[in-house]
Structure 1
Amino acid sequence: MFDGIRKRVVCMWFPRLPSDRVLRARPVSGPFAITHKSNNTERIYCLNSPAERAGLTRGMSFADARAFCPDLISQPARPDLDAHFLAILRRWATRYCPWVGWDGADGLVLDVTGSTHLWGGEEAMCDDMRARAARAGLSVGLGLADTRGAAWAFAHYGGAGKTLEHLPVAALRINTQVVTGLQRLGLRTIGDLSTAARAPLARRFGPEMMLRLDQAMGRVPEPVTPEKEPPRFVNRMSLPEPIGLTEDVMGITERLLVPLCDKLNRFEMGARKLSLTLRRVDQSSREVELRLAAPMRDPHRILPLFERGVGEVDAGFGIDQIRLKATQVEPLAVQQIGSVQASPDRLADLITRIGTRIGLDNVQRYLPADSHIPARAFRIVPAAYTRPDSSWSTCRPRPLRLFPPEPIAGRGHTPPDRFRWRRMTLTTGRAIGPERIAPEWWLEGDTWRTGLRDYWKVDTREGRRLWLFYTPQNPSWCVEGEFA
């Protein structure tokens, strides 16, 4: 019964996907371009229609483009955002058929076999695609054919009334070197190539070119592989009677959290951010967001962390629907279960509890940094997104406390015998040094760019153990740290 159905494929090509993505959020009436750095040169990566009418082309250096078009507005390329935007378009394209796959970095391919009658025919469906893309501010090229290769050719090179045989050989998705070689032989169209002897061409240009020709002509199948939908970790419960007590809300949350964690376990994922949406009977919603210091999928550890946020929610006249969703997940490997159970990560739970009060980014830790300058040998980072580093090491002892340099009186290249610091008169008992530290001249804004520092560890007779340095290029002494 289904053997007689004619296979039909649509190719959607978005030639200005990067620039259209940016201009949708912030329209520009004049020339606009997306730039990308290649071989230490800023070049045009994508541009809109006014920029093309001004004589700009892709691959042109940005300096030349500004010379041609002084009022050109530009932004740097973001391939990651372009890929995310194309993923959104792929989900949108499933309204026409369920089989939608990727076609490069700027296109989609749809297997619309058996679906066109739902839109009043093929022409009506393509008109609807163009109209919706135009309303969304997107440039689109459409190709409809019996094969994927032919649909791609019509989308990129097709015109009104053209057949596949009249299209250039570049429409076969082959590289430019092969296209140039075929044109030198006088084979400029797909029709010319299909009538030429196959064996000599295969020996000269390789089997890939003939494969592309056969795929476009329908001699070799080329299926459309749809993208698998990512799992969604969300549960929802509608209540027959409104509730308002914290205990009741926490009980429903537990019923939603247990199957959610089971699904996370099946996919070997852990939640880093959870959103609990409480819908009140007046149709307004209250949201409790929980950010975790480490990926988790243990409901017994996660549930108590919701209690503070749920207790602060105003239930109004009652809550009739609760929705729990893991809005951010990360891979979490399955743990080995034995006779001795591993203790939970109490530190991660503690960081999460403190983070719900003061903000997860405000719980910080120190990590070592690659710098020989003591004041730059560490960095402060959020503890929730990093792990402790045990690689703290130095060839020389460093003071426990560091502070901005505080000048003291002294002469010569060795520490003074007596000096005043912070209203105290101190006497040098033992001095170890010097340790010369050179400036990191390659860093911008470096206060050390003007010269060297000779550091001394000074033990005073009064019990203070200080870290002093002397600057040879500008003779002076300063105290910068104190040992324990």
Structure 2
Amino acid sequence: MFDGIQRRIVSMWFPRLPADRALRVCPVDGPFALTLKDSNAVRLYSLNLQAEAQGLHAGMSHADARAFCPGLQSRPADVIGDGRFLLTLRRWATRYCPWIGLEGEDGLVLDVTGAAHLSGGEAAMLDDMRARLRRAGVSVRLGLADSRGAAWALAHSGEGRAEPGRPLEALAGLPVAALRLDDGIGTTLQRLGLRSIGALEAAPRAPLTRRFGPGVLLRLDQALGRQSEGIIPLTEPPHYGVRLTLPEPVGLLDDVMAGTARLLDRLCVRLKAQEAGARVLCLTLRRVDQQARMVELRLAGPLRDPARILPLFERGIGEVDAGYGIDQLRLEVTQVEPLPVEQLTHASAARAGRLEDLVSRIGVRIGLENIQRFLPADSHIPERGFVIASAAWSEPGGPWVALRPRPLRLFPPEPILGEGPQPPRQFRWRRMALTTARATGPERIAPEWWLEDGNWQSGIRDYWQVETRQGWRLWLFHTPQNPGWFVQGEFA
């Protein structure tokens, strides 16, 4: 109790939350279940009412379930999606009270103290919750009591509402499993004849503590309101969106850019407070005819400097048809990345962000995905010593490490005439007659046997650096298993 008001808690239990979510997206008729792979077996994860009526249950083998119910329809479960759906339900439940926490993976707990009268009383509030969730296709069981434990017990043992100050009257007939006890402890209590919460409350406390420890009586006291149990609400993630409504419609590029600058100033202050940077921004321009035009800006790196972001919007805004005028601007960051504060020296501050700004400017024209960079890869095979990655979504991989010099240009092996393990003194390459002046080598490179590569099926290669009298500096290799000579690269 606080300030003379009796604390009231609502427990929402969604017994078929994953199945309800899946059926909302794609309804089916008849028995339905979601499956989840457990070790090497596929088991039922969540079922609808028709499947439960056929005697199926969660944890059952999918093969056994199909044998019992040939008409069973199933899909793979999406545990991550179920978690997001529960968070969506939590946001929906804020219509009843602001203090809401999660109750495991399939429930919510609401502190409705002093808020029930806004919905017409406790009974009307529960009816409204049940009706709205039923229309949304979500099964729910509700419990309302003075404590979190009592509300949970009522929700999971049938639905019910305990009168204020009298929790034992509502809980006395419920099984001891409703106290959130481990299955083993609950079974042992039933074997001792303590099958209900009322019987457990009437039993001597000292023998129970000696036999089971303090946990059983702690759960009992929490349910009956003798021991407080808090509710930890989830904090809403920061929202990076700002809006500007104009008194008069505008249509000139300079006017829209000026409004965007004001929005960016406010938005970057929020980003700085959270030590975050924007990667993708979306500017929505609402015209007076209620149609909207969107300008998306994707950045090469996290950024929260308005002076660097604003010029990148100019091209996209200039292509927008303002119609009879724009009367509202909305700017939102749709993708955020951490951008902690760093200590910058005078030299590093001068060059900070230059590459990212260049990539962002080019990306506005041709798309960030079309700007790529070479990164070193851990492979001794010449053509596998690098990977190509998006420049906007990767970091430079550091210096290139090679024990021997590598050519500036690599190309697929081109055969030339030659015999023996030593480089040929004279050979023709690309219709040119060349004479070897100096050769350095060999450098033997073995294939990566664990990877399939048709170019390396001939086995090991002996590489040579060959300087010709005509000025060409080439990279040649010889294949001892299947004798032959090839040119694969050219040095600067």
Above 0.5 in TM-score? Answer: yes
Residue 96 (str. 1) matches residue 96 (str. 2)? yes
Instruction: Provide closer, same or farther for how the CA distance between residues 310 and 186 of structure 1 changes in structure 2, counting only shifts above 3 A.
Output: same
Counterpart residue type for residue 307 of structure 2: H
Q: Distance in 1 between matches of 2:373 and 2:309?
A: 23
* Alignment correspondent of 1:178: 185
Tell me if 1:269 matches 2:279. Answer: no
**1:402 matches 2:410:** yes
Q: Is residue 2:93 matched to residue 1:86?
A: no
Q: From 381, 387, 393, give the equivalent of 2:389.
A: 381
Query: How many residues matched?
Result: 481
List runs of 5+ in structure 2 lacking aligned partners.
Answer: 162-168
Q: 1:482 to 1:317 in 2, by over 3 A?
A: same
319-328 or 199-208, which moves further after superposition?
A: 199-208
Q: Are 2:152 and 1:152 aligned?
A: yes
User: Is the Cα contact below 8 Å between 1:469 and 1:479 reproduced in 2?
Assistant: no
Name the SS of the counterpart of 1:166 in structure 2. coil
> Is 1:437 paired with 2:434?
no
Cα deviations across residues 134-166 of structure 1 (Å, max 9, x unaligned)?
Answer: 222222222222211111122222257994222
Moved more, 239-248 or 150-159: 150-159
Match runs of 1:106-125 below 5 Å = 106-125=106-125
- Counterpart CA distance in 2 for 1:399 and 1:41 is 52
CA contact (8 A) 1:399 1:467 kept: no
RMSD: 3.2
Distance across 2 between alignment mates of 1:72 and 1:433: 67
Residues 261, 298 of structure 1: 8 Å contact kept: yes
Distance in 2, matches of 1:50 and 1:309, equals 53
Which stretch shows the higher mean deviation, 38-47 or 297-306? 38-47
Change (3 A) 1:423 1:107: farther
Alignment-derived partner of residue 24 in structure 2: 24
Give 1:354's aligned residue.
Answer: 362
Question: 2:198 corresponds to which residue?
Answer: 191
Find the residue that maps to 1:238 and give its secondary structure.
Answer: strand
What displacement does 1:61 show? 4.1
Deviation at 1:53, TM superposition (A): 4.2
Q: Does 1:466 align with 2:492?
A: no
1:225 corresponds to which residue?
A: 232
Cα contact 1:468–1:481 (8 A) shared by 2: no
| CA distance 1:362–1:31, shift in 2 (3 Å) | farther
* One-letter code aligned to 2:360: T
What code does the residue aligned with 1:468 have? Answer: F
Contact 1:436 1:452 in 2 (8 A): no
1:433–1:317: structure 2 CA closer, same or farther, 3 Å change rule? same
Q: Distance in 2 between matches of 1:255 and 1:183?
A: 68
Q: Which amino acid aligns with 1:47?
A: L
In 1, are the aligned partners of 2:287 and 2:323 still within 8 Å (CA)?
yes
> Structure 1, residues 246-302: CA drift from partner, whole Å, max 9, x if none?
111111111121122112212222222212111111111111111111111111111
Say whether the 8 Å CA contact 1:471–1:477 is kept in structure 2.
Answer: no
Offset, 1:218: 0.8
When structure 1 is superposed on structure 2, of 89-98 and 455-464 the one drifting more is 455-464
For residues 41 and 286 of structure 2, what CA distance do their matches in structure 1 show?
A: 53
Q: Which residue of 1 aligns with 2:401?
A: 393
Change (3 A) 1:469 1:112: farther
| Equivalent residues in 2 for 1:1-150, closer than 5 Å | 3-65=3-65, 73-150=73-150
Alignment partner of 1:385: what SS? coil
Q: Which runs of 5+ in 1 are unaligned?
A: none
How far has the Cα of 1:40 moved from its partner? 4.5
Label 1:471 to 1:157 Cα distance change in 2 as closer, same or farther (>3 A): farther
With 224-233 and 397-406 compared, the bigger mean Cα shift is at 397-406
Shift of the 42–423 alpha-carbon distance from structure 1 to 2, 3 Å rule, reads farther
Quote how far apart the aligned CAs of 1:451 are: 6.8
How has the CA–CA distance of structure 1 residues 195 and 305 changed in structure 2, closer, same or farther, with 3 Å as cutoff? same
Shift of 1:179: 2.6
Q: 1:431 to 1:216 in 2, by over 3 A?
A: same
2:90 counterpart SS class: helix
Q: Distance in 1 between matches of 2:148 and 2:393?
A: 44
Q: Does 1:215 find its partner at 2:239?
A: no
Using the aligned pairs only, state the percent identity. 60
CA offsets per residue over residues 66-87 of structure 1, 9 Å max, x none?
5555665544443332222221
Alpha-carbon contact 1:415-1:456 (below 8 Å) kept: no
Aligned to 1:452: 459
Partners in 2 of 1:439 and 1:2 — Cα distance?
72
Task: Indicate if the aligned counterparts of 2:282 and 2:331 stay in contact, CA closer than 8 A.
Answer: yes
**8 A contact 1:435–1:455 mirrored in 2:** yes
What amino acid is the match of 1:304?
P
Contact persistence 1:101–1:108 (CA under 8 A): yes
Compute the displacement of 1:457 (Å): 2.6
Moved more, 87-96 or 162-171: 162-171
